[in-house]
Amino acid sequence: MTEPVHHTILLFDIERFGGRDDVEQTFLRRKLHDIVEDTLVDAGVEQTQQYREDRGDGVIALISSGISKAALLRTLLTTTPGLLHHYNRLAASSTQMRLRIVLASGEVAHDARDGVTGGIVGHDLNQACRLLDAGELRRALAQRSDDHCVVCVSDPVYQGVVRHGHLGVRRDAFHRIDVAVKEGTLTAWLHGPAGEEGASPHRAADAERPSGDDPARSSQAASDSARDPRGVTFNFYGGAPSIGGSVVAGDQHGVSGGQVHSDVHLGGGGNRR
């Protein structure tokens, strides 16, 4: 086995591949390799800077750490959907292609064996494969019927690249998901609007909240504000509400449920018409 080397890990998987017949699967595999090739060329990845494995319904690509992840992600968000759109508008319904895509990074070793293809191993690669197979990604793609792919990045890629807002990579376009795996929970970031795919309510801002921001302190501040008469909220549900120790008696007209957030003047002031 070789010594592990840091790579960018790029994974592709075809949606509903197993439901196609052999001829359709063969055609889809060929077109997938064309799309992967065009994507990597557009990202500036030379043949000597990549290693690829065919996984039947998908592709694993290991990219040299010398290639900018920001440039690669920008290509995945622009070129790849364009290539899929161009292909799908001409393809038969039985060979339509939609992809789940994962961009991760980590240490990968190669354990080659004579007469056997493949042999790449590594914990980071395993985690990326689990993200690719996660139900959250499958549901996201199923919900986005007009999209040709979904792109997910690992937490290290998000923290190192996405959250800095490089050209063509908007951090507010990603939302956090927490994927259950054998060892616990794996945090990742999914491109596109949050849906019902199991997204955490956390957003990009949560990942960047200063350490001094204490949720408990914020909750206490909100409680203190509620007790401050300058910011108090008055609730009217009929009857005689008590405000600041005073009792407002008599019929109250024009107030029936809801909230008033401002100064409230009740009583005998002013003329009635």
For the segment 50-80, what is each residue's pLDDT rounded down to a tens digit?
Answer: 999 998 899 999 999 999 999 999 999 999 9
% of the chain exceeding 70 in pLDDT: 71
Is the pLDDT assigned to residue 246 strictly greater than 70? Answer: no
What does the mean pLDDT of the chain come to? 82
Question: What integer pLDDT is reported at residue 256 of this predicted model?
Answer: 47
Q: Bridge partners of 99?
A: 14, 149
Is the pLDDT assigned to residue 203 strictly greater than 70? Answer: no
SS3 (DSSP) at 158: helix
Q: At what angle do helices 69-88 and 22-42 cross, to 10 degrees?
A: 140
Backbone φ and ψ of 180, nearest 5°: -75, 125
How many residues are given for the chain?
273
pTM of the model: 0.72
Q: Name the residue with higher pLDDT: 134 or 204.
A: 134
Question: What integer pLDDT is reported at residue 24 of this predicted model?
Answer: 96
For residue 59, give the nearest of 78, 32, 23 by alpha carbon: 32
Question: What integer pLDDT is reported at residue 225 of this predicted model?
Answer: 45
Question: What integer pLDDT is reported at residue 242 of this predicted model?
Answer: 45
Q: Name the residue with higher pLDDT: 36 or 214.
A: 36
pLDDT class for 262, splitting at 50, 70, 90? low
Cα→Cα distances 176→47, 125, 148, 194, 207, Å: 33, 20, 21, 9, 9
pLDDT class for 263, splitting at 50, 70, 90? low
Candidate from 59-73, 142-156, 254-268 with smallest mean pLDDT: 254-268
Question: What integer pLDDT is reported at residue 116 of this predicted model?
Answer: 84
Is the pLDDT assigned to residue 241 strictly greater than 70? Answer: no
Helical H runs in 60-116?
69-88
Is the pLDDT assigned to residue 267 strictly greater than 90? Answer: no
Count of helix runs (H) and strand runs (E) in the chain: 7, 12
Question: What integer pLDDT is reported at residue 196 of this predicted model?
Answer: 61
- Domains in the chain, please, with CATH? 5-207 (3.30.70.1230), 228-265 (no CATH)
Is the pLDDT assigned to residue 33 strictly greater than 60? Answer: yes
Q: Name the residue with higher pLDDT: 114 or 81.
A: 81
Q: Name the residue with higher pLDDT: 126 or 262.
A: 126
